[in-house]
Amino acid sequence: MSAPTTGTAARTVTDVFQPRNVLLAGMPAIGWAAAGHWSGLLWGLLGALCAGLVPAGYIEWERGRGTWGDRHVVDRAKRAPIFLVILGSIGTGSALMVLGHAPAGILAAMLALWVMTVGLLAVNTVWKISVDSAVASAVVALLSVVHSPWWLTAYAMTAAVCWSRVALRYHTVAQTVAGASLGAATAAASWLL
């Protein structure tokens, strides 16, 4: 691929598979599997709202105020507030799920995302790590646990996200691999508890 074509493809991949979209597609499926019926979709939508849509809304609000140039927040030093919003939002959603007697599986997914965010925040204090890669990996790993190991084939999507982040020069290969590894590890660990 030529450079302009590669850039266009990378931009498309990174926009389509941004964390908000991956969570909006994946969390309802995780909720459905956790509940064993359609009511799990609602728990999954709550999870997607708290883990994906609220943080994305916060980023857009800050962009509107001129704090950041775009949703990628490529400056590592400016990322801490986003992680704190994500932690608070996932924590709030989890509390609502506990009060509403949500299935244990969706609570495990929320715990995995919360722990992953703590890890992202900790690493981000010293080194830039890919959040997009972490979320893509975590959602695939969670789907493979609650539905079927066949979901592991969706790691092709995670690989595409990693590629796009490197191609756009937002991250190095090591930063995307670290993000994807953290996402997979926290997802797997949440199901072993």
127-157 per-position pLDDT tens digit: 999 999 999 999 999 999 988 889 999 999 9
pLDDT band at 106 (very low <50, low <70, confident <90, very high): very high
Residues 6+ apart with CB under 8 A from 167: 6, 7, 9, 10
Residues 6+ apart with CB under 8 A from 28: 40, 41, 44, 45, 48
Q: Within the chain, where are the H helices?
A: 3-16, 19-35, 39-48, 54-64, 80-99, 104-124, 131-146, 155-167, 173-192
pLDDT of residue 72: 76
Domain count, the chain: 1
Phi and psi at 147, nearest 5°, equal: -105, -70
The pTM of this model reads: 0.93
User: Does residue 181 carry a pLDDT above 90?
Assistant: yes
Residues 6+ apart with CB under 8 A from 155: 137, 140
pLDDT band at 193 (very low <50, low <70, confident <90, very high): low
Supply the angle between the helices 19-35 and 104-124 in degrees, to the nearest 10. 150
23: domain range? 3-192
CA distance 181 to 187: 10
Of the two residues 37 and 67, the one the predictor is more confident about is 37
CA distance 68 to 73: 6
pLDDT band at 190 (very low <50, low <70, confident <90, very high): confident
pLDDT, tens digit, for every residue of 13-66?
Answer: 999 999 999 999 999 999 999 899 999 999 999 999 999 999 999 999 998 888
User: Does residue 2 carry a pLDDT above 60?
Assistant: no
